[in-house]
Amino acid sequence: MPACTFLVSALVLLAPGVTPGRQTTPTASLASLGWMSGSWEMTRGGACIEERWTRPAGGTLIGMSRTVAGGQTRSFEFMRIESRSDGVFFVAQPGGRPPVDFRMASNSGSEIVFLNPGHADHLKRIIYRRSGENELTARIEGEDGGKPFSVDYVYRAATTAGCP
């Protein structure tokens, strides 16, 4: 499975409960998520993975991810974070498939956690963390065949126009 699709798929399927002591009340304002905006890239196993996020505006952040290896797009995902009357949601569409919602469970100002514990797929939890001035980490958690898994994507601020 391509890394990008795996990331989103994993994120959609891996949302175990948040530790009550660490949980904070999510903010309805998306302005606090501006630290996610920008162009982010990483290289893993010969593949270039890029993720891009718009600035928060109009109740949304819009994102996309693409994995390029061997000169070909191996996977892609459309994403958005949106404010609704019933909360803030991360909406994933790996490979352009139908959307899957993950509800924001916590927002510390530098880390946001989205959960979908009842999702039939294997992805249950998605976490975004600003892990440095020029670094963004995305983590997906879930189960695959009943076995827990997690994958970290440590992106650096893009210095090029995108994957070669």
Q: For 113-164, what is each residue's pLDDT tens digit?
A: 999 977 666 889 999 999 888 999 999 999 888 889 999 999 999 987 778 7
List of domains in the chain: 3-157 (2.40.128.20)
d(CA 126, CA 113): 6
CA angle 17, 37, 94 (to 5 degrees): 60
Q: How far is CA 12 from CA 82, 96, 117, 143, in A?
A: 16, 14, 9, 10
Of the chain, the percentage scoring pLDDT greater than 70 comes to 81
Q: What is the pLDDT of residues 43-75, one digit of tens each?
A: 999 999 999 999 999 999 999 999 999 999 999
8: left (phi over 0), alpha (psi -120 to 50) or beta: alpha
Q: In this structure, are residues 99 and 91 in contact, taking their beta carbons and an 8 Å threshold?
A: yes
